[in-house]
Structure 1
Amino acid sequence: MSDTDLPEAEILFEVKGAAGVVTLNRPKALNALTLNMVRALDPQLRQWAEDPSIERIIVKGAGEKGFCAGGDIRALYDWGTTGDPLAVGFYEEEYKLNTFIKEYPKPYIALLDGITMGGGVGLSVHGSHRIATERLMFAMPETGIGLFPDVGGTYFLPRTPGETGMWLSLTGARLKAADALFAGIATQYIPSEQLETLEDALTVPGADIDVVLRDFAAGAGDSALEPLQADIARLFSADSVEAILAALEAEGSAWAAKQASTIRSKSPTSLKVAFRQMKVGAQASFRECMETEFRIVSRVMAGKDFYEGVRATIIDKDGAPNWQPDCLEAITDADIDAIFAPLPGGDIKLG
């Protein structure tokens, strides 16, 4: 086999000036995160953290459509349905990486140019700088596949304005650049046509990152989220998913009716898990949130809804998941308590 026949690496690393540059390199799959990518990125980040010549990290996605559209859910489905321990092992390695990014000792700059969901959020939102372009489409859509907004969603979502995190986690709503800035998910807006020049400026040794970003920053336009903020804060502050739905349905507006309809299409168990996450996470440290998520995912991957959600979404693509249980009323507080309970073997060791 010649070099030209070799499969291209899923993740690329390069030192450019004073920056360690990471390129997520699966553009045909919207740079979805695989276990191999996690296993390559974690040690590289640790090496660069100790290297005095590396002043900052830049993370980007190949292509123009996605930064990273999430985790490789087909692989997780295959592992889980065959009893492979990697179905949970993937999350253990991913959550350790998320924690290291959150605690990274150097500036960590993610270029959010395109779709950024799920696992891609975990690779970006915990870094010091999150640069949105006009192509950003941010979402945490996990309740629609029987999962839950993980990769640190328990921590960062409750810290968005008002009840924005509750709304995002229950509906899987999509945000554009101006919305992400308003929510604090992105820190700057820079047009995609400027990214290559920006990257060059960020690799200069001794460069002041905040000055560089200020020089490149532009206006992202008006946020569609901001005018909805008061309604979201009021309607999504109820004390249960059922009460939120009742408030939305009593509201009488087309927007509220659409939110209620969207929520009702999601996994009832996932909805109740996400609701509890937002309440627990608001009072917890980042590491406590990640320990909680590992407890949840260990139970979810042993259940049925994730596999049914993936079947309906990407395997059979019939869009008609058969959730079990199929209604919110069938899920008790005790059921959710059991999902959040400490694991018999103890909590994940985050490093």
Structure 2
Amino acid sequence: MSDEVVIFEEVPLRGGRRLGLARLNAPRALNALSRAMIEALDQRLVAWAEDDAIAAVWLEGAGDKAFCAGGDIVALYRAIGEGAEAATAFTSDYFSAEYRLDYRIHAYPKPVVVWGDGIVMGGGLGLMAGASHRLATETTRIAMPEISIGLYPDIGASWFLGRMPPGIGAYLGLTGAQLNARDALDLGLADRLVPREAREALLAALVEADFDTGEAPAVVDAVLDRFEAREQAPAAQLWPHLDHLQSLTARGSLTEAAARILADPSDDSWLAANRGRLAEGCPLSAHLAWTMIQRHRHGSLAQALREELTLSVRCCVEGDLGEGVRALLIDKDKTPRWSHGGLDRVPAAEVEALLRPLWSEESHPLRDL
């Protein structure tokens, strides 16, 4: 097995061009996105964008469990333990690089096909969300689970959650709800359902496609048309409850929405699991998730990423992320001691303080997005 953090291949295509293949290579860590991974992938995407011989890009994760389970929160935890100055430096660098990579995928000039098999959470969804061709399989499991670790939905989620049907993005952010492939298709987080077993045949078909006879996105679409099998998607979890979920979250304040979710008497197992995550989750994270979705409903992705950078750094240095990671992954006692005892105990002034810019417009690390 290769020890490279991302494995890159350039696969010859019919007609002489090539498919750029990138495989996140940390299967034991469910391909959690390390700083080294981010740098390697970003540099190669820049090179492939400028190389006329590269017709399209394929992005996947190693192993059979996850495309990418999220960011490298253990590295963030270690940086937090080194004190405020070290944590600020490390997290500023990490999140700047991650969000720049996410933005690059959104704006990429060539088709990017993401094989979203298995777990796709947090930073993994950041890689998938902006791709031109987002493939789910029958095993896909998508979530923004930050409520459970003391962060908030970042990686541009402040922007794309607010563009879902009213109240649904807020519900996902507050509960960390896990979505399957059918849910991802319904909410626009995936474009196609391709069975896991079809991966090799799909890649072989892309290799045989003639990218010299048409526009690359259309060539990819024509190949995918042959492999899509939406009838193999699992049953929808979210859409049958759409009206109900909107009645919980689409109106009123965070406090009102959270109270309605927690008081929901439904015995549906999916809804009950979501209620449980909100009940046990970080109160500050709930406020930040709600606030950021409201703030970026009518702005640009770049604006959202710039403000997310400030907020993510502050969550590490001043917020609850360290405690959340400790409880979940370090001590594994699953009993985080959040800094606030409930949603009603989070002062509005504290939320506003966390949103105060760390940089001027001229000096912001993501000013050029």
Provide the TM-score with structure 2 as the length reference: 0.89
Q: Tell me if structure 2 keeps the 8 A contact 1:55–1:205.
A: no
Work out the CA distance in 2 between the residues paired with 1:257 and 1:30. Answer: 26
Work out the CA distance in 2 between the residues paired with 1:345 and 1:263. Answer: 34
What does residue 53 of structure 2 align with?
53
1:252 maps onto 2:271 in alignment: no
Once the two structures are superposed, residues 285-326 of structure 1 have per-residue CA deviations (whole angstroms, 9 ceiling, x without a partner) of 010110110121121111141010001000111110000022
Within-5 A mapping of 1:137-152: 137-152=141-156
Change in Cα spacing, 1:53 to 1:278, as seen in structure 2 (3 Å) is same
Amino acid of the structure 1 residue aligned with 2:239: E
What does residue 25 of structure 1 align with?
25
- Residue 249 of structure 1 and its aligned partner are, at CA, apart by 4.5
- Residue 159 of structure 1 and its aligned partner are, at CA, apart by 1.6
Change in Cα spacing, 1:350 to 1:14, as seen in structure 2 (3 Å) is farther
Q: Tell me if structure 1 keeps the 8 A contact 2:138–2:234.
A: no
- SS of the counterpart of 1:341? coil
State the aligned residue count: 346
What does residue 89 of structure 1 align with?
93
Within-5 A mapping of 1:48-127: 48-83=48-83, 84=86, 85-127=89-131
What does residue 170 of structure 1 align with?
174
Change in Cα spacing, 1:127 to 1:229, as seen in structure 2 (3 Å) is same
Amino acid of the structure 2 residue aligned with 1:285: S
- Residue 257 of structure 1 and its aligned partner are, at CA, apart by 6.0
Amino acid of the structure 2 residue aligned with 1:209: V
Work out the CA distance in 2 between the residues paired with 1:250 and 1:318. Answer: 27
- Residue 222 of structure 1 and its aligned partner are, at CA, apart by 3.1
Change in Cα spacing, 1:181 to 1:13, as seen in structure 2 (3 Å) is same
Work out the CA distance in 2 between the residues paired with 1:345 and 1:289. Answer: 15
What does residue 255 of structure 2 align with?
242
- Residue 344 of structure 1 and its aligned partner are, at CA, apart by 4.2
Work out the CA distance in 2 between the residues paired with 1:132 and 1:54. Answer: 24
Equivalent position to 1:337, from 352, 359, 362: 352
1:293 maps onto 2:308 in alignment: yes
1:314 maps onto 2:329 in alignment: yes
What does residue 193 of structure 1 align with?
197
Once the two structures are superposed, residues 38-84 of structure 1 have per-residue CA deviations (whole angstroms, 9 ceiling, x without a partner) of 11111100010011111111101111100001111111100121132
1:348 maps onto 2:343 in alignment: no
- SS of the counterpart of 1:63? coil
168-177 vs 195-204, which moves further:
195-204
- Residue 333 of structure 1 and its aligned partner are, at CA, apart by 2.2
- Residue 163 of structure 1 and its aligned partner are, at CA, apart by 2.0
- SS of the counterpart of 2:8? strand
Work out the CA distance in 2 between the residues paired with 1:305 and 1:337. Answer: 16
Work out the CA distance in 2 between the residues paired with 1:38 and 1:350. Answer: 19
Tell me the C-alpha RMSD between the 2 structures.
1.7
What does residue 159 of structure 1 align with?
163
What does residue 228 of structure 2 align with?
217
Q: Name structure 1 gaps, 5 residues minimum.
A: none
What does residue 184 of structure 2 align with?
180
Q: Tell me if structure 2 keeps the 8 A contact 1:145–1:308.
A: yes
- SS of the counterpart of 2:138? coil
Within-5 A mapping of 1:221-232: 221-232=234-245
- Residue 258 of structure 1 and its aligned partner are, at CA, apart by 5.3
Work out the CA distance in 2 between the residues paired with 1:52 and 1:312. Answer: 48
Work out the CA distance in 1 between the residues paired with 2:294 and 2:274. Answer: 20
- Residue 89 of structure 1 and its aligned partner are, at CA, apart by 1.3
What does residue 42 of structure 1 align with?
42
1:11 maps onto 2:13 in alignment: no
Change in Cα spacing, 1:316 to 1:249, as seen in structure 2 (3 Å) is closer
Q: Name structure 2 gaps, 5 residues minimum.
A: none
- Residue 274 of structure 1 and its aligned partner are, at CA, apart by 0.1
1:128 maps onto 2:132 in alignment: yes
